[in-house]
Chains A and B, each alone.
Chain A
Amino acid sequence: MKKLLVSLICVFLICGFVFAGGSGEQKTTTGEVKYKEAVVCADGSQITTGDPQSINNIQHNRLFKCSHNTLVSYNSAEAKYEPELATSWEWNADLTELTLKLRNDVTFQNGEKFTANDVKYSYERIMSLNSTASSKFVGVLDHTEVIDDYTVKLVLVKPNVDWLDTLALPLASIVNQKAIEADPLKGPWVGTGMWTITALEEGDYVHMVKNDNYWGEKTPTRELTLRYMGEASARLIALQNGEVDVCISPANTEKGYVEEDPNLKLIEIPSSTCCYFAFNTSKGPGSDENLRLALAHCINYEDVILGASSGEGTRAISNWGPATYGYYDGFGDYKYDLDLAKQYLEKSAYKTITISVKDNARLRAAQIIQANAKEIGLTVVIEELEAAALTAKSAFKTAEHESMIYTMGWNSYGDDASRAYGKNSNTNKATLSNDRVMELLELGRQCTDDAKRKEYYKEIQVLNHEHAWYIPLYYTELSIAINKGVSGIIWEGHQAHDYSNIVVTV
C-alpha cells in the first residue's frame, strides 16, 4: 500500500512538472525593443458573446474595441469625436440627417471589402435584434440611406446632438452580412478591427490574433487573450507569476503587493462610476422630501467611503459622472448636520425606510447609513437581495423598492442623464417622472448651443440637489495592476479600456 501511495504522488508530481507552465514565452523584435508575442489580460467579469450588437457592457466593450470598428470614435482625453471607419461627417440644418463619408481601404477579417451597404446592414440588424443595444437605435434612427459605396446618410426620427456618441459606442460596430448569413453564431465575430477573434470559451477566455489586413497602425503583439478570473486574489497571483500581464481591479487589501513588486505597476484612475442613494419618489417614504433631506444631512459620507470602498473613493457632490458633459457641482455638498437632519425628520410623516442592496460594498454603505440614521431617530431596514431580484424590484414599472444604493457608470455624453432621470428608464432608480426634468432633457438633446445646453443640465442637477431624489455618495476609484512592460492601453474612466494597441516590452 505504501508503494502504491508513493507511486501515485510521484506520478502526480512528474505530470505536474511536465505539463506545468504552459507554452514558453515568445518574443518579437522591432528595432532594438523586444515585445511579448502573446499578451493576456485578466478580468473578473466574463465574456459570453462576440456579437457586438447583442450586448452593451464594460467587459464586452473591451473585446469589441479590439475586434470591431465603429464609424466614429470618442477621444476621452481630448473630449472630441474622431474619424474611424468614417473619414468625415456633416449634419443637415435641423440635425435630423447625418451624412458620413467612409474609408475605402478597409476589409473585414474574412477578406470582404467594407462599403456603405455594411453600414446599412449593421444598423438595420441592431434595430431588429431586440437587445439592450438595439434600444439605443430604435426610436432614434429612422432609416439608413446608401448614397454610394462610400457615402451613407443616417436619417433620425428627431434631432439628437448625442447621436455621434451612440455611433461611437461598440454596440454600433460594423459587422459583415456574408459572415453572419454563413454562420449566425460566429459570423458577428467578424469585424474590421485590429484583432480577429479565434476562440471564445465562455467562462474562460477569448483568444484573438492580429489581423494582418488591418487598415490602421499595427501592433507588434501577435496574440491577445482576455481571460476571465473571477477571484481577485487568484487574478493578482496570476499577474505576479507572469501568467497574465494585466489584472483589472485587484482587491483593495492586496494593492500593497503590487506596490512592493518591482516588476509590477499599479494604475489608479478616477472612475466615472457614481455610487448614490436613490429614493423611490413615486410612493412611500421616498416620496417625502423632508425624509430625503433628513437622510441627506445625517449621513457621514467619509465613513461611507471608508466602509464601502476601503477609503478608495472620492466624495460625490452631484450624482452625475465627473467627466460627463454638463457636470455641475456649484451647489456644494450636503453638510453633515444632525440638528438640521432632525428638523427635517420632524416634518416628515415617515420614521422608517427600507434600503435594498445587492452586494457587499453597498451592504456596508447601507449599514453605515443605518447607524447614521439611528442618531436622528430614523429607522433604516436593510434588505439584501440577489442582483436579478433587485433589478426586477426596482425597474421603473415595478418600483417596489423604497430606496436603494446604486452605482451608475456614467458615459461622457450629456444625454446619458436620461438613464438616471428618464421616464421608463430602468436605471431611473428614483422612479422620477418630473415634467421639468423631462423638458430639460429633451431641450438638451436638441440644443447645439454649448453654453445653453450646459445650463439645462446644470438645472437638472440643481433640482436634484434641492429635492434630494438621489443623494450622491462617492465616486469609485479604478485600480489596475499591470506588468511594468505594458503600454499602449487607453484607460477609460467608464472602464471600457481599449486594449487594441497593447504591447509588453521584455
Chain B
Amino acid sequence: MHRYVIKRILLLIPVIIGVSFMIYFIMDLAPGDIITQLVGEDATEEQIKALEHEYGYDRSVFYRYGKYMLGLLHGDLGTSYITKKPVWDMYISRLPKTFWLAVGASVVAIGLSIPLGIVSAVKSGSLVDNSCMVLALLGLSMPNFWLGLLLIIEFSLNLGWFPSGGFRGFSSVILPAITIGTGHMAVMTRTTRSSMIDVIRQDYLRTARAKGVSENKVITKHAFRNAFIPILTIIGGQLCAGIGGAVITETVFSWPGVGRLIIDYVHQRDVPVVTGAIIMTTIITGVIHLAVDLLYAVVDPRIKGKYSRKGVKRVKKVRKEAA
C-alpha cells in the first residue's frame, strides 16, 4: 500500500511539469502580454524596456519557463506581476473559501442524491422513480447563474436568511453550495440509481432476504456498500472540480475563490499567478484522487487485498498459472 501511495505521488511530478509547460506556452501564444497591461498609456520606450527586462520578456519563453521551474524546485510559486505578492500567499488566501464551497456543494449533492438514487433504484420503474429522475434532471438542466440568482432573491432578499454574497462565514456558504450541489446531484443520483439496480439484483442479497434480514438493512448495509464505489469516484471527481473553482457560481455570489483568481489573472496575462494556481490545483486534485483510490480499499476489502503484498503475490501466481 505504501509503495502504491509513493508511486502515485511521484507520478504527480511529470503531471506538474506537463501542466506548467502547457500553461506557460499557451499563455505566451495568446495575444496580449503583461507588459501592455502594466505600462501606462504614456510609458516611454525606456520604461517598457525596463519592464521587459524585469519580467524576462526580453528573452525567450523557454528562459522564463526555466527560471520559473527553478524557483518551483525551491518551493517558490513565483510572484504576481500585477500585485507583486507571492503567488503562494494569493492562492492560500483563496483556498479555504474554495474548499468550503467544494465541501458544501458535495454535502448538498451527497445528501440529496444518495437517498434519491436509492429510493429510485428500490422503486425502479415506479412513479417515485420517475419523479426522482425528473428532479435530478432538473438539477442538471438549471443553469447555475439562474439558480444562484433565484436563491439570492428568495432566501436573501425575500426571507433575509442568508447573505447575498461574499465569504461571511458559514451562512454565506449555503446558497452557493446548493447552487453547485444541485448540478452535481443530478449526475450522482443517476449513478447511485444505476449502481444500486445492478447490486440489488445480485444473489447474495436474495440470500440475505431469505435469511430474514430486514429490507432496510439489506439495502443500506449490504447493497449500498457494494454500490458505493462508482459513487465514490463521482464524489472525488466533483470535489476536484470544486477545488478547481466554480467560476460562474463564484461570480454570482461574489465568492473570492480560486476559480475567479485564475480567470481574473488569465485576463491580465499574469503568468506566475495562473501557473502557480493551476499547479496547486493539480496537486490537490492528485491528492484527492489518491484519497479516493485509498477509500476504495476501505469500502471494499477485496481491493485492499489486491494491493497488499500477499494480494500482489497471489495475483502474480494466478497469472503465472494461467500463462
Interface residue ranges, A against B (CB under 8 Å): 1-2, 4-5, 8-9, 12, 15-22, 46, 48-49, 54, 56, 130-136, 138-139, 185, 201-205, 227-231, 233-235, 237-238, 240-241, 243, 385-393, 395, 418-419, 422, 424-428
Contacts and interface: CB of A to CB of B under 8 A. Distances in A.
Contacts of A393: 31-32
A31 to B, nearest CB: 31
Interface stretch (B2-10, B167-175, B313-321): B167-175
A20 B41 contact: no
8 contacts: A16-B170, A49-B83, A229-B254, A233-B149, A391-B36, A391-B37, A426-B41, A427-B41
A231 B260 CA distance: 13
Contacts of B170: 15-16, 19
B165 A388 contact: no
Contacts of B85: 185
B197 to A, nearest CB: 17
B31 A392 contact: yes
Contacts of B253: 231, 234
A231 B146 CA distance: 12
B161 interface: yes
Contacts of B164: 229, 234, 237-238, 241, 243
Interface in B226-266: 251-254, 256, 260-261, 264
Given A5-B115, A241-B156, A391-B32, A22 B220 contact: no
A20 B152 contact: no
Interface stretch (B42-50, B68-76, B200-208, B274-282): B42-50
Nearest to B254: A229
Contacts of B267: 386-388
Given A46-B264, A185-B85, A228 B160 contact: no
Contacts of A131: 38, 40
A12 B174 contact: yes
Nearest to A7: B111
Interface in B102-116: 107, 111, 115
Contacts of B51: 130
Contact of B47 (A134, A201, A228, A385): A134
A228 B254 contact: yes
Contacts of A16: 161-162, 170-171, 174
A89 B91 CA distance: 46
Given A185-B84, A205-B166, A238-B164, 19 more contacts: A19-B169, A19-B171, A20-B163, A54-B84, A56-B40, A132-B39, A132-B40, A134-B47, A135-B47, A201-B256, A202-B90, A203-B264, A231-B254, A235-B254, A237-B153, A237-B157, A238-B163, A238-B165, A393-B32
B161 A1 contact: no
Nearest to A132: B40
B6 to A, nearest CB: 36
A241 B93 contact: no
B177 to A, nearest CB: 9
A18 to B, nearest CB: 8
Contacts of A1: 115, 118, 216, 220
Given A1-B118, A234-B252, A388 B161 contact: no
Interface string B205-229: 0000000000010001000000000
Contacts of A419: 41-42
A237 B269 contact: no
A201 B30 CA distance: 29
The 5 A-B residue pairs with the shortest CB-CB distance in the complex, in nearest-first order:
A388-B32, A135-B40, A132-B40, A392-B32, A19-B171
A426 B44 CA distance: 11
B161 A17 contact: yes
A20 B90 contact: no
A2 B38 CA distance: 57
Given A203-B264, A233-B149, A234-B254, A422 B36 contact: no
Contact of A4 (B40, B90, B115): B115
Contacts of B64: none
Interface string B81-103: 01111000010011000000000
B65 to A, nearest CB: 20
B163 A21 contact: yes
Contact of A388 (B36, B83, B94): B36
Contacts of B168: 22
A237 B159 CA distance: 12
Most chain B C-beta atoms within 10 Å of own C-beta, residue among A133, A139, A202:
A202
B111 A230 contact: no
A492 B192 CA distance: 57
B40 A230 contact: no
Nearest to B49: A130
A8 to B, nearest CB: 5
Nearest to B265: A48
Contacts of A15: 170-171, 174
B189 to A, nearest CB: 13
Which among A8, A9, A388, A426 has the greatest number of chain B C-beta atoms within 10 A?
A388
A233 B165 CA distance: 11
B194 interface: no
B156 A418 contact: no
B163 A22 contact: yes
Contacts of A46: 264
A237 B152 contact: yes
A228 B260 CA distance: 12
B214 to A, nearest CB: 13
Contacts of A233: 149, 152
A446 to B, nearest CB: 17
Contacts of B251: 230-231
Nearest to B82: A48
B28 interface: no
Nearest to A428: B41
Contact of A135 (B41, B161, B171): B41
Given A48-B83, A234-B165, A132 B44 contact: no
A130 B47 contact: yes
Contacts of A9: 111
Contacts of A2: 115
A395 B36 contact: yes
B268 interface: yes
B42 A392 contact: no
A200 B96 CA distance: 16
A203 B36 contact: no
A228 B156 CA distance: 18
Nearest to A390: B32
B31 A389 contact: yes
B111 A5 contact: yes
